[in-house]
Amino acid sequence: MRIIPAVDVFEGKCVRLQQGDFRRRKVYSADPLEVARRLEDAGVRYVHLVDLEGARAGRVIHWSVLEQIAGQTQLKVDFSGGLKTDEDLRRAFDLGARQVCLGSVAVVFPLKVYKWLQDYGAQRIVLSADVHRSRIVISGWQEETEISLISFLESYLSIGLRTAVVTDVSRDGMLGGPALDTYRYVRNSLPRLQLIASGGVRTLQDLESLQALGVTGVIIGRALYEGTLTLSDLEPFLC
């Protein structure tokens, strides 16, 4: 199971939101690159880099943070937030992103994302399925759609998608435990999907529960920044 720390960027700083609410954010570091280097030094190999302002605005804001982290560490960067055009994807990969994680654009412009899957391959395109009350939310989690989680995932699996990050927005940043029932349902409904769980992870027991479900990876955010999980706790999963 892949461990993927989250580095969420707002106003150039490393922050965390609670339940996707931009008013409920906490700054953990003024230097996202320094955070990434600390993760790399601890043996982490993957990072989920999110441009929060880009996600809300619908255009990438923090290209420079991607360039710094991808260019000055060996971390494999999954980049998300505001990616919308062919040029955005080319630039993200040129700056060193290993993968891009696509949410709002995959809802609003599905044909465009289908083409990107063909052009770049499923190993480089990850679907971001952000969920509130079993419905997909977009625009930095500010807008709820009528699209169900499973139908959204199925539509992309049918045209070659391999991997999706599923985030229960109500759990994100709350340290209340992951949405195990949701992930169990997705695993049972779509066994071919490489599922990455995100939101609510707090303890080693949470990681063990997710591993038992057979998820491909887990994104961890606030638990690391608040210290309910430490980098040394993650060592068994980083081997």
pLDDT digits (tens, 9 = 90+) for 170-204: 887 778 899 999 999 999 999 999 999 999 999 99
Q: Give the separation between CA 60 and CA 26, rounded to whole angstroms.
A: 21
Beta-sheet pairing, 76-80 with 2-10 = unpaired
Q: What is the pLDDT of residue 115?
A: 96
Residue 143 pLDDT exceeds 90? no
R_g of the chain, CA atoms, integer Å: 16
For the chain, what are the domain ranges? Answer: 2-238
Residue 169 pLDDT exceeds 90? no
Identify the CA nearest to 80 among candidates 71, 68, 41, 98. Answer: 98
Q: What is the pLDDT of residue 196?
A: 98
Residue 114 pLDDT exceeds 70? yes
Catalytic annotation, residues: 8, 130
Q: Answer yes or no: pTM beyond 0.75.
A: yes
Q: What is the pLDDT of residue 239?
A: 67
Distance of CA 177 to the CA centre of its chain: 17
In CATH terms, the fold of domain 2-238 is TIM Barrel (3.20.20)
Q: What is the pLDDT of residues 17-76, one digit of tens each?
A: 887 788 889 999 999 999 999 999 999 999 999 999 998 888 999 999 999 999 999 999
Q: What is the pLDDT of residues 83-93, one digit of tens each?
A: 999 999 999 99
- Which of 151-160, 164-173, 185-194 shows the lowest mean pLDDT across its residues? 164-173
Identify the CA nearest to 188 among candidates 178, 180, 177, 200. Answer: 180
